[in-house]
Structure 1
Amino acid sequence: MTVDITHSVDPIISSSEHIGMVDDFAAHNYSPLPVVAATAEGAWITDVEGRRYLDCLAGYSAINFGHRNREIIAAVTDQLGRLTLTSRAFHSDRLGPFCRDLAALCGKEMVLPMNTGAEAVESAIKVARKWGTEVKGVPAGQASIVVAAGNFHGRTTTIVSFSDDPVARTGFGPFTPGFRIVPFGDAEAMAAAIDDTTVAVLIEPIQGEAGIIVPPDGYLAAVRELCTSTNVLMICDEIQSGLGRTGTTFACDHWDVVPDLYTLGKALGGGVLPVSAVVGDSNVLGVLRPGEHGSTFGGNPLAAAVGSTVVHMLGTGYWQDRAATLGTHLHGRLHELIGGGVTAVRGLGLWAGVDVDPTLGTGKDLCKKLAERGVLAKDTHGSTLRFAPPIVITTDEIDWAMDQFAAVLHT
């Protein structure tokens, strides 16, 4: 495949000028690649100088359906001309259909709409504690939640309280109590951590930030059985792994596991705006009463219109099937590189974690070299790279990206 990675644009400012302004005026809580996006379409991003890049990150799965997906943009455009925000002080005509359709997609009864992924996780924690106190009978203030080592559920103060990543934690204490960390993939350790105060287990079915870590077969089913037998809620964080990314609607589907609560986000907003939700049955989410939890923007008409469109798109099964087929191709190409600079490949569907021989450089070094060749990817934890292109990518584009990756490994 031959790819033209230049394109004519009329830049407002140069890349170097923009990067300088970010360095001067934006908080330094990110260390991005030196790429300044100006426009995007499908799986491609064009920078302010007109250089094109194949996006193999997709906004950490927020852009599953491609940049400026026509169906999603049409829904946004229509809704912008009608109604954008009411708060939850009264109803909008978009909220009910969105909650109904998302609940049906998940096989659940009720939706708690929020905005960001971290908000969804925080909301699930609150719901679990309330459920534990009122339904399970755990004494007030004693509820505990079991989580997995290597987790990433966001960066709020409560969430970093149960992270084991020193970068996320250092300097941000005091931390919120009530969490126990056990090794990911170890059902026996999970069982040992559960006691009479435990109200929930919170896990990613596939750990994203840790390097796309897939659990051993049987693990999620064992956790599901354990939660059922001990009257503990199983909460699965599908914010990155869900909504088609792994070749199924949810990553849990690969193991035929249904949690009590899903936390969703990223792709639920169609790559347009932040939309998140906690989805479960009324016997759990029904513990919330007016005034106990809320969000001015949660479930706003614009978000609901986008979320409904995403749910409709996923309802066809097309995107899940496409991610599965293209994912097989992606993983096949990546496995060909094992022994040639790649030491391990993990993942499912269009989601891959790739460990590279550290003598070739850090993951950030390799991502910079890839960007120079027109491919955008993201590193995590040393010399691990993540590939998660939009599901609109083609096999030819995957092949071209893997050719660039192979070239980087040999330079």
Structure 2
Amino acid sequence: MTFLDTPRPTSTPVGGPQLAQERKLVTSIPGPKSRALSQRKAQAVSAGVGITLPVYVVAAGGGVVVDVDGNSLIDLGSGIAVTGVGNSAPRVVAAVAAQLAQFTHTCFTVAPYDSYIEVAEALNRLTPGDHEKRSVLFNSGAEAVENAVKIARHFTGRQAVVAFDHAYHGRTNLTMGLTAKNQPYKNGFGPFAPEVYRAPMSYPLRDGGLDGVVAANRAISQIEKQIGASNLAAIIIEPIQGEGGFIVPAQGFLATLLAWCRANEVIFIADEIQTGFARTGHMFACEHEGIVPDLICTAKGIAGGLPLSAVTGRADIMDSPQAGGLGGTYGGNPLACAAALATIDTYESDHLVERAVAIGAILNERLGALAATDSRIIEVRGRGAMIAIELVDPATGEPDAALTGRVIAAAHAQGVILLGCGTYGNVIRFLPPLSIPDHLLLEGLQVIADALAETLAVA
């Protein structure tokens, strides 16, 4: 029996243009028009800009992406967790169009506007904790991380920052230093910003299922011995690691780190850039363990696809920098602010936190059934609509990046947008838009099941 033989839960997709919610292949993937555009890309765009799936998009919405050749692909990537409300979600389109007709830019630090304040108010309300908060807006996740570190250093008067094994925090100089993985993110781009240190992460699959409290104390011991709490401005951590492989730390790891930070006046920064905004079945992943960070970085799902990011945190910390110390020409652009307000409205009005939970139930059930019959899937993990499978060689238990690549390539060829991740390149991640209808999600999972079966047959 295949996935598609089983009953389909009901769903109401939201967002996007009125596109047929179907997978349809009219050419090979990529088709001739996309291949022609790839040739133009090679002549015009830096070779350093890689492409996961070279199909060139003309429309997207619900759970599909349509390319220039007329192929309709199932979207299990959401532009890396950006289009949580769906591509071209109706409220977002209307809000941006209205703002576009009024004005496109003044620079908030020159001549401000109320939508920036409204976004800050919404973030202060939505992020964990009932303490007094402030927010500041930027363009990208990396900018949010950089500024969170700036703020923490200014407030504490200390310089050192700790990030964790398998972490990903961005591609700027400082955030590359915080990022763990060398290839492709760091290789050849150093030297990196100083006073950045790394501590061991809780990775239950690969640290023997180490208890979360014990794993945290291991990291704390290293921090105290190698850096010293009195020199440490902040630790920064993803509550669920993204590029590192959708690693969910063992229960108690985050809480123990937070308690140590509180006791030592170290700023606890949560990087919720990939996990934020309903993705994990809470508005923020910290909420799964009752974690209230000092500062929280957001981006990706914040504005329905428009570039926007933020740092939100304790008022005393956020008010520490001098006037003019934070900002930027495009940070909190009025179009992005309009999009963010409409996006947040969509998350709340359309109950997309609950939708993420329902998507997670489907992913866990179907991927769990695959893992039960395929020993190459060593783990299914994640929360909500942020789920991954880790693939290994069952004979050795070693990460199998080659198999992962073959499965992803086979899914692409069959019209399913699928992303890999992980320090070892052996993790397949599932980040569908929360607007995806169940029948498309199930069909996409069946394509992946078939791809796994074909690779097993070839082996």
Query: The TM-score by the shorter chain falls in which range?
Result: over 0.9
Deviation at 1:276, TM superposition (A): 0.2
Asked if residue 266 in structure 1 is aligned to residue 295 in structure 2, the reply is no
Counterpart pick for 1:243 among 269, 273, 277: 277
Asked if residue 176 in structure 1 is aligned to residue 176 in structure 2, the reply is no
Matches within 5 A, 1:138-287: 138=158, 143-167=159-183, 168-185=185-202, 186-192=215-221, 193-194=223-224, 195-271=229-305, 273-287=306-320
Asked if residue 83 in structure 1 is aligned to residue 103 in structure 2, the reply is yes
Match of 2:86 in 1: 66
Asked if residue 308 in structure 1 is aligned to residue 341 in structure 2, the reply is yes
Tell me whether 57-66 or 366-375 shows the greater mean CA deviation. 366-375
Shift in CA distance, 300/360, structure 1 to aligned 2, threshold 3 Å? closer
CA contact (8 A) 1:203 1:235 kept: yes
Matches within 5 A, 1:5-44: 5-6=24-25, 14-29=33-48, 30-44=50-64
Tell me whether 242-251 or 185-194 shows the greater mean CA deviation. 185-194
Match of 2:425 in 1: 382
Counterpart pick for 2:404 among 358, 363, 375: 363
- Distance in 1 (CA, whole Å) between partners of 2:54 and 2:333 is 34
- Distance in 1 (CA, whole Å) between partners of 2:401 and 2:338 is 46
Shift in CA distance, 226/316, structure 1 to aligned 2, threshold 3 Å? farther
**Deviation readout 1:231-260 (Å, 9 max, x if unpaired):** 111100000001000000000000011100
- Distance in 1 (CA, whole Å) between partners of 2:405 and 2:298 is 28
Matches within 5 A, 1:333-344: 333-338=366-371, 339-340=373-374, 341-344=376-379
**SS of 1:263 mapped into structure 2:** strand
CA contact (8 A) 1:13 1:48 kept: no
**Deviation readout 1:337-369 (Å, 9 max, x if unpaired):** 114242321111011121234579443332121
Tell me whether 43-52 or 375-384 shows the greater mean CA deviation. 375-384
Gaps spanning 5+ residues in structure 1: where?
none
Match of 1:129 in 2: 153
Match of 1:327 in 2: 360
Counterpart pick for 2:331 among 298, 318, 338: 298
Gaps spanning 5+ residues in structure 2: where?
5-20, 203-214, 394-399, 455-459
Matches within 5 A, 1:42-121: 42-87=62-107, 88-106=109-127, 107=129, 108-121=132-145
Letter in 1 for 2:180: D
CA contact (8 A) 1:62 1:270 kept: yes
**Deviation readout 1:115-152 (Å, 9 max, x if unpaired):** 1000000000100110111xxxx4xxxx2111111100
- Distance in 2 (CA, whole Å) between partners of 1:218 and 1:160 is 28
- Distance in 2 (CA, whole Å) between partners of 1:294 and 1:93 is 16
TM-score by length of 1: 0.92
CA contact (8 A) 1:367 1:377 kept: yes
CA contact (8 A) 1:246 1:324 kept: yes
Deviation at 1:316, TM superposition (A): 4.4
Match of 1:397 in 2: 440
CA contact (8 A) 2:245 2:427 kept: yes
TM-score by length of 2: 0.83
**SS of 1:368 mapped into structure 2:** helix
Tell me whether 284-293 or 309-318 shows the greater mean CA deviation. 309-318
**Deviation readout 1:11-66 (Å, 9 max, x if unpaired):** x9811110111122211221422322221111100111111101000011101111
Deviation at 1:314, TM superposition (A): 3.3
Tell me whether 34-43 or 321-330 shows the greater mean CA deviation. 34-43
Deviation at 1:6, TM superposition (A): 4.2
Letter in 2 for 1:279: T
Letter in 1 for 2:445: M
- Distance in 1 (CA, whole Å) between partners of 2:233 and 2:338 is 34
CA contact (8 A) 1:105 1:315 kept: no
Letter in 2 for 1:356: L
- Distance in 2 (CA, whole Å) between partners of 1:4 and 1:261 is 41
**Deviation readout 1:202-229 (Å, 9 max, x if unpaired):** 0000001011000101111111111111
CA contact (8 A) 1:261 1:279 kept: yes
- Distance in 2 (CA, whole Å) between partners of 1:289 and 1:307 is 27
**Deviation readout 1:319-351 (Å, 9 max, x if unpaired):** 111101111111110111114242321111011
